[in-house]
Structure 1
Amino acid sequence: MKILISNDDGIDSYGIIALARELKKYGEVFIVAPIFEQSAAGQSITMKRPLKIVEHFIDGKFFGYAVNGTPADCVKIGITTILNFVPDIVVSGINHGSNTATNIIYSGTVSAAREACMMDIPGIAFSINGRTSENIDWAAHAAANITVKALSHGFEKGKLLNVNFPNLKKDEIKGTMITKQGTSKFADTYDTVHDVIGRAYHQLKGDFVNLDDNNELIDQVAIENGYISITPIKLDSTDHEEFEKIRNWNFAEVTP
């Protein structure tokens, strides 16, 4: 099994180090990740400047390739330029911080896995609901098991799973739940600060707003209740119910 790993926290993040360590038990691992943190980069790719690829070493040992681009850049250039083969799967993470509900739209972690799907390769994104590394090790072990199990069940090219772990100790986890993407979001505001000569700058902040009524089958609710959340998502963003409705709106009349 050949596995390409990327992330959005950057190539030195403990999440990707732990994930690579566990996945190496099951196959060949190749790492292509951003040089710097790319949180909330979404599906963006670099078009106006060339990308630089550098070999990256940790404790004097070759670890992978660092790219001065986004997570989607890393997957795209990793498959088309760095590797001389198509990997069996692309795995992204482990992200420090959950990627649930509407946050997956912004997530560089999810976007790396989604980029694989756009290239007809299965992808899995892994995130943990915390900013520290204290529970990363067991999450990485579980992530490797999820990856192997998905492939053993014929996880198809172009398919995508979004996995989120609660930030709990291993013995506090209640189990695994197959979930749906929620609709919760952040109520965003900006703090205004001024530099020494009075110029204003605006820093994004926000409070999480739960809009899912504690439905246990929703991703964010599941991890808050102590379950590992596994959500199948797809590239097709069509609202199929609305599609049927607006077919009757007679848009033909808008043409001159």
Structure 2
Amino acid sequence: MPPTDAAETAQTADPTDRERPCALVTNDDGVEGRGLAVLAVAALEAGFDVVVAAPSRDRSGASAAVDGELDGDRLPVAEVPLPWPDLAGPDQPDDDPQAWCAQARRHEGTDRLRVLAVGASPAFCTRVGLRGAFGGRVPDVVLSGVNHGMNTGEAVLHSGTVGAALTATVFGVRALAVSAGVASTQTLEVSATTWGAVLDAVRPALRWVLDHEPTGTLNVNVPHLDAGERVRGLRPATLAAAGVAQGSAFEAGEGYVRLTATTPLEDPPEDPGSDTVLLAQGWATATLLASVEQRTGVPLDDLDDLAGAVPAGTSPSTGR
């Protein structure tokens, strides 16, 4: 296939270059999530071959769970079409809301862009993908999202979008997690204007990730935008003490507890630079999240007393 963009032309024309690097794109909303296409296009623009390997169904809230719908030792994988959202904004033509992806769509189904529905959680998609499960390519970067709904504050712990990206970070691979504000928490629809702002934020965020060592996952959130609105810019942010929504138990019955989702208090968090505050002010935010690592500086010497209470070679439960 002839080259179709400047980056590809440069790589194809240089006989010393080997194959292009590979980007793995996943999410927790499932393979029908329209945000996958935004990350795929950004990766293609950056010169990557792209493998979209997303859960075959919605896995929201999966965190970093690694589970699959295995049939013996077989993980279900099927090639599917990629949903392409409409984009609107100052850099998008008014007469064709999908003009932004016309070039990328020509690559779909080729080695440049494969789209797979996987019977697995998002973190499991990442983990097996890093072992070359999807076509034998080991990804150089993992992009997760774009989540329908923002992932902010300490609630990112539960996000499957963030969990998939952090899994890559644990294994020393660069990772980016991206989430977008929604027009309604009932429909979880992302507006065309918001999608345009997401693409504008993803491009510099991906460049930052590629320019830095994989010491963490860059977590990017873009607020909801109505038609004609613009995001104020992309700013670094701290994690708020709480996320966009919290679960509260308000009724305990016989054999059940009824739960409801509540929004945080209207009073802003103490830190005016937190992600929830900046998003409410119209900024897109970026926060670098640490991967799982050993905690140092906390002495564990007192464990010796507990270990000494059980003679070596005996069972703590039986004493034999």
Task: Please give the TM-score of this superposition, normalised by the length of structure 2.
Answer: 0.67
1:192-203 aligned at under 5 Å gives the runs: none
Coordinate RMSD, CA, aligned: 3.0
Aligned pair 1:64/2:119, yes or no? no
1:99-178 aligned at under 5 Å gives the runs: 99-130=151-182, 131-134=188-191, 135-151=194-210, 154-169=211-226, 171-178=229-236
SS in 1 for 2:136: coil
Shift of 1:88: 2.2
SS in 2 for 1:99: coil
1:189 alignment counterpart:
249
Aligned pair 1:205/2:205, yes or no? no
Measured in 2, the distance between the counterparts of 1:36 and 1:203 equals 25
SS in 1 for 2:153: coil
2:79 maps to a residue whose letter is E
Aligned pair 1:54/2:78, yes or no? yes
Measured in 2, the distance between the counterparts of 1:13 and 1:173 equals 22
Aligned pair 1:217/2:250, yes or no? no
- CA deviations on 1:2-56 (whole Å, 9 max, x unpaired) are 3211000111111112332343222222111011010001111116834211111
SS in 1 for 2:81: strand
Aligned pair 1:40/2:61, yes or no? yes
Aligned residues: 245
Measured in 2, the distance between the counterparts of 1:20 and 1:229 equals 20
Q: Aligned pair in 2 of structure 1 residues 202, 148: CA closer, same or farther (>3 Å)?
A: same
Aligned pair 1:29/2:54, yes or no? no
Aligned pair 1:75/2:126, yes or no? yes
Contact conserved, 1:184 with 1:208, CA < 8 A, in 2? Answer: no
Measured in 2, the distance between the counterparts of 1:13 and 1:201 equals 32
Give the strand-richer structure, 1 or 2: 1
Contact conserved, 1:94 with 1:126, CA < 8 A, in 2? Answer: yes
1:179 alignment counterpart:
237
Contact conserved, 2:176 with 2:219, CA < 8 A, in 1? Answer: yes
2:217 maps to a residue whose letter is L
Measured in 2, the distance between the counterparts of 1:167 and 1:118 equals 31
Contact conserved, 1:94 with 1:140, CA < 8 A, in 2? Answer: no
Which structure has the greater CA radius of gyration? 2
SS in 2 for 1:112: helix
2:23 maps to a residue whose letter is I
SS in 1 for 2:263: strand
Shift of 1:137: 2.8
Q: Aligned pair in 2 of structure 1 residues 77, 187: CA closer, same or farther (>3 Å)?
A: closer
SS in 2 for 1:31: strand
SS in 1 for 2:70: coil
SS in 2 for 1:209: coil
Shift of 1:212: 6.1
2:118 maps to a residue whose letter is V
Measured in 1, the distance between the counterparts of 2:82 and 2:236 equals 36
Measured in 2, the distance between the counterparts of 1:49 and 1:58 equals 24
2:89 alignment counterpart:
none
Aligned pair 1:14/2:8, yes or no? no
Contact conserved, 1:22 with 1:141, CA < 8 A, in 2? Answer: no
SS in 1 for 2:288: strand
Q: Aligned pair in 2 of structure 1 residues 129, 249: CA closer, same or farther (>3 Å)?
A: farther
- CA deviations on 1:125-144 (whole Å, 9 max, x unpaired) are 00012232211232123213
Shift of 1:118: 1.9
Q: Aligned pair in 2 of structure 1 residues 32, 227: CA closer, same or farther (>3 Å)?
A: same
Measured in 2, the distance between the counterparts of 1:168 and 1:58 equals 24
Q: Aligned pair in 2 of structure 1 residues 49, 103: CA closer, same or farther (>3 Å)?
A: same
